[in-house]
Amino acid sequence: MKRVLILGNNCLSQSNNNGRTLSNLLLGYPKDKLAQFCLLDGAPDFERCERYFVVSDREALDALLHLRRVGRRLTETDAAKLIAPRRSIRNRNALTMLLREAVWRSGLWKRGGFRKFVEEFHPEVILLQAGDCAFMLRLARLLAKKYHIPLVIYNSESDYFKDHDYFRARGIAHLCYPLFRRMLRREFRKTMQAASYAVYLCDELKTAYDAEFDCPSEVIYTATRLQPVNKPLTGPLSAVYLGNLGLCRHESLIELARTLQRIEPGALLHIYGRAPNDTVEQALRSCGAIQLHGFVPYDEVRRVMSEAVLLVHAENFSELYRKELLYAFSTKIPDCLASGSCFLLYAPSELAATKYLLKTESAYVATDKAQLETYLRLLHEQPEARKRYLERAGAVVEENHNAVKNAARFCAILNSRL
């Protein structure tokens, strides 16, 4: 097995979506053959990897302003106390991202042990989890060039194609977006030209990027390790949503909850997730058809999923979000399909996740208010309908989201296709 140096914002982890997605793709990979440089907080997955080197945004700034040696290696014993306070910039917009780029591009943060960390590991492959940090794209490209080794990109994002200000900033920050976008696209193009292989989250992303770049690629869907639980799906139709409450998903969730309660008085939509701000939290708490439980660990997420009668996922229907979410494919979808619970998606028809579930015929999919009410009424009046897609969902999970199979495919890319 080749030694793989992973670059990404999030560490390999079971506590956040990005970290868990990549961690599952490396299932079974010898952990002594993996090392990672990352920026953000989280709970590192030491079952998957033993070597982590972390530098926060604040530390990179200290290196520039005060010439401090920053960054440190993480061990399993000290990771919890070291990771907690290390946060990325919170006020993300084009202006702060440009300033962040200048800080990291100085390279002064590397003097605190990063170079030694890389040299001691002696990587044979660079694996980049792509995002909207231009300096990370550049770092991956330069390391691959310096050590004459292949660069593999795992990409679940469509930032390259966003011509609108997805930070939704105002004033000077908004006016800076064209400059930020030009810089990001330039670095992304250079990095793709240097890449040996690309792995995408879904078919729509692969199609879009393949039209722009001549780079060998394939799709490996997000894997799940959730096992279905046989349970009765009869009785009152309570619904459960677990996951991110950003991107104005709460508006569609409130609409879904009210529709459900209109059909079945007393029914509730149970939401497990952290509201991104007070406005969203207040909107959810003021809806009598919703019970907000807040954030829960992933182990609890899995338990709730396995016990739910109806799992739901929803996206916003406004034009702004329809454009932004065109390639969206929530990491919770494979878990929902594997749970053994009835699953319903409420989202615009053109989104990647919507197309996928319709194509695979593995869940109820409502693309407008009328369909939403029709399906909820069906599931209320005919409990046996809640089992309609379970067998097909299980087959789709085995075909596209099996953690062991997907990890084997990813391992083959890193070791035999470069």
pLDDT tens, the chain, 418 aa long: 999 999 999 999 988 888 999 999 999 999 999 999 999 767 899 999 999 999 999 999 999 999 999 999 987 776 555 544 444 556 899 999 999 999 999 999 999 999 999 999 999 999 999 999 999 999 999 999 999 999 999 999 999 999 999 999 999 999 999 999 999 999 999 999 999 999 999 999 999 999 999 999 999 999 999 999 888 888 899 999 999 999 999 999 999 999 999 999 999 999 999 999 999 999 999 999 999 999 999 889 999 999 999 999 999 999 989 999 999 899 999 999 999 999 999 999 999 999 999 999 999 999 999 999 999 999 999 999 999 999 999 999 999 999 999 999 999 999 988 8
Q: Residue 88: its pLDDT value, please?
A: 52
Q: Which residues contact 412 (CB under 8 A, 6 or more apart)?
A: none
**Measured distance CA(275)–CA(113) in Å, rounded:** 37
Residues in the chain: 418
Give the three-state DSSP class for 329. Answer: coil
Distance of CA 124 to the CA centre of its chain: 26
Q: How far is CA 393 from CA 298, 375, 388, in A?
A: 21, 17, 10
pTM of the model: 0.95
Beta strands in 59-201 (DSSP E): 72-74, 125-129, 151-155, 197-200
**Measured distance CA(241)–CA(273) in Å, rounded:** 8
Distance of CA 390 to the CA centre of its chain: 25
Q: Residue 127: its pLDDT value, please?
A: 98
**Measured distance CA(103)–CA(130) in Å, rounded:** 19
Q: Residue 86: its pLDDT value, please?
A: 47
Do 343 and 311 form a contact (C-beta atoms < 8 A)?
A: yes
pLDDT in tens, 167-198: 999 999 999 999 999 999 999 999 999 999 99
Taking the CA atoms of residue 29, residue 32, residue 33 and residue 38 in that order, the dihedral angle to the nearest 10 degrees is 100
Do 123 and 147 form a contact (C-beta atoms < 8 A)?
A: yes
**Measured distance CA(297)–CA(333) in Å, rounded:** 17
Q: Residue 15: its pLDDT value, please?
A: 81
Give the three-state DSSP class for 381. Answer: helix
**Measured distance CA(16)–CA(35) in Å, rounded:** 18
**Measured distance CA(94)–CA(402) in Å, rounded:** 38
Taking the CA atoms of residue 166, residue 99, residue 200 and residue 319 in that order, the dihedral angle to the nearest 10 degrees is 0
Q: Residue 84: its pLDDT value, please?
A: 46
Q: Residue 77: its pLDDT value, please?
A: 72
What phi-psi label fits residue 71: left (phi over 0), alpha (psi between -120 and 50 degrees) or beta?
left
The label of the residue with tokens 């793989």 reads: 4
**What is the secondary structure of 87-98 as a DSSP string?**
---SS-SHHHHH
Q: Residue 80: its pLDDT value, please?
A: 57
User: How many CB atoms neighbour CB 109 within 10 A?
Assistant: 23
**Measured distance CA(190)–CA(402) in Å, rounded:** 33
Do 65 and 145 form a contact (C-beta atoms < 8 A)?
A: no
**What is the secondary structure of 340-371 as a DSSP string?**
SSEEEEE--TTSHHHHHHHHHT-SEEE-SHHH
Q: Residue 229: its pLDDT value, please?
A: 87
The radius of gyration of the chain's CA atoms, rounded to the nearest angstrom, is 22
Q: Which of 299, 313, 310, 331 is nearest to 388 (CA)?
A: 310
Helices 57-66, 94-105: axis angle to 10 degrees equals 60
Q: How far is CA 180 from CA 129, 134, 194, in A?
A: 20, 9, 21
